[in-house]
Amino acid sequence: MGRLGGWLGRYAESLISLAVAFVVAILSLVDVLDVDAVNSSILLVLALLAAAVLRDRAHGETVERALSASRQHLDEVLTPLTPQVARLNGVGHTLELARVALDETLKIRVISGTEVTDALAEARADTREWMFKGGTGTYMRAVTLPSCVEAARRGRRELKMSVEIIDPTDRLVCERYARFRRDMSPGPDGTGQEWTFRRTRNEAYAMILAAAWYEQRFNLLDIDVRLSPVMTTFRWDLSSHCLIITQDDPGAASTLIRRGGRQYDSWRIELRKSLDQARRVPMELADQAPLSEEPRIGEARALLDCLAVPLPAGLPDVEVEDIIDRAIRARNPYA
């Protein structure tokens, strides 16, 4: 009896849903229920299924498992209703919307901690494209860019990358970004450094330098760099398979959206339009200012001049050395 009681308690919502569906199917078959009554019954069934999902989450099940189970329950509950209620205005449309909503939800996950690291690694594995929008591209330089280039080189395939960061020549946006990072995470980050105007400016310059350095060494890499006067508090990493939305706080929840749904396509369009509105760096001119394996100060200055993002007048060589170091020996802030 104890086991039976536990089983009944665990699946109460599903049993009630099936009972409601059975009764509605019978009553609609004999023309007892009108359209409004049937729609109300469907809403009741969906509410019970939502309660089942929340209960399963409370018991520690993953979001995907809970939603998959709900999708299966929805099919089991609504399929018997369809032949009887399809002839009623609006009901068939309601059923289809419910299924589409659940299918879309199945492609979205909330992730955190090591799940984010694993999701990014999986996204990089065999992607042919990468779109990034964020602050200065620190993680992009340290992990994403070299990993994607190495995977593409091994696979002998083309790689197209688009990068949107803040404009290092815009002092206001650099100061704004540095202040935001300090407010969110006072003290040094995973690199051992605090966020200052100087670091922010140099990190953004380093992203441009790194993009040119890698493009000069891998002919199948096509990288588009854009500079924005507006900072963002989120980071978007879009690969051929999924989109991962993170924040600068590694402890905050992140979002994984798999390809194949409207959310992925909508965000892809949003990122593309954002890139189109940002200032384009003429990366096709990078070959006019070649960089050595260990770029020299003069080479870095010449390249940035060629790309129309010159360093500030009178910037000391020690600052240029810092930019070069951040470009080709970037440190993972989340290691």
Q: Say yes or no: 88 and 237 in one domain.
A: no
pLDDT digits (tens, 9 = 90+) for 196-251: 999 999 999 999 999 999 999 999 999 999 999 999 999 999 999 999 999 877 67
Q: How many domains, the chain?
A: 2
Tell me if 334 is assigned to some domain: no
Q: Say yes or no: 68 and 197 in one domain.
A: no
Q: Say yes or no: 120 and 101 in one domain.
A: no
pLDDT digits (tens, 9 = 90+) for 23-39: 555 555 555 555 555 55
Q: Say yes or no: 156 and 82 in one domain.
A: no
Q: Say yes or no: 140 and 40 in one domain.
A: no
Buried/exposed 36-62: b ≥16 CB within 10 Å, e otherwise: eebbebbeebbebbeebbebbeeeeee
Q: What is the pTM of this model?
A: 0.73
Strands 108-111 and 242-247, bridge-based pairing: unpaired
Q: Say yes or no: 223 and 200 in one domain.
A: yes
Domain CATH code at residue 211: 3.30.870.10
Q: Say yes or no: 212 and 147 in one domain.
A: yes
Torsion on CA atoms 177, 183, 185, 191, rounded to nearest 10:
40
pLDDT digits (tens, 9 = 90+) for 76-119: 555 555 555 445 555 555 555 555 555 667 789 999 988 999 99
Tell me if 335 is assigned to some domain: no
Tell me if 237 is assigned to some domain: yes
Which residues have a Cβ under 8 Å from the Cβ of 49 and sit 6 or more positions away? 13, 14, 17, 70, 73, 74, 77
End position of a domain, from candidates 75, 106, 137? 106
Tell me if 141 is assigned to some domain: yes
Q: Say yes or no: 69 and 122 in one domain.
A: no
Question: Residue 311 has what DSSP assignment?
Answer: P
Q: Which domain holds residue 224?
A: 114-328
pLDDT at 17: 54
pLDDT at 50: 56
Tell me if 261 is assigned to some domain: yes
Phi-psi region of 157 (alpha: psi -120 to 50; beta: other; left: phi over 0): beta
For the stretch 192-198, contacts whose Cβ atoms lie closer than 8 Å and that sit 24 or more positions apart, written own/partner, are 197/171, 198/319
